[in-house]
Amino acid sequence: MYLFLHWEKGSPYETLDQGEARVLTQWEQFDDGEQFSPTKKFLLVVPIVLFLLASFYTEYDPTHCLINASSLIILAVLPKLPQFYRVRLFGINRW
């Protein structure tokens, strides 16, 4: 899911934006870039709820909790923050 939302650029279908979507990821194209829209809030809450459920079912094992928390923060929460809108870390995936 991370690769589809935050790595792949362009549009999966033909658009009438004259190529503006070529340089934007799917996450950046949602709701025309509006931050904290209902769609983006929902897609931010889902991984957090899954993390809480995984922590509960692993009985809060420290090893599992550390792995799940780090992957949640790095792959699910940070890329969705408004501070990372149109930002390419270290020039990766710039073009």
Question: Three-state secondary structure along 58-71?
Answer: CCCCHHHHHHHHHH
pLDDT band at 42 (very low <50, low <70, confident <90, very high): very high
Q: Is the pLDDT confidence value at 8 over 80?
A: no
Q: Residue 40 contacts by C-beta under 8 Å, 6 or more apart in sequence?
A: 27, 30, 31, 34, 80
| Average pLDDT estimate for 67-94 | 86
| Average pLDDT estimate for 21-38 | 82
Q: Is the pLDDT confidence value at 28 over 90?
A: no
pLDDT band at 58 (very low <50, low <70, confident <90, very high): very high
Contacts 24+ apart (CB under 8 A), 68-71: none
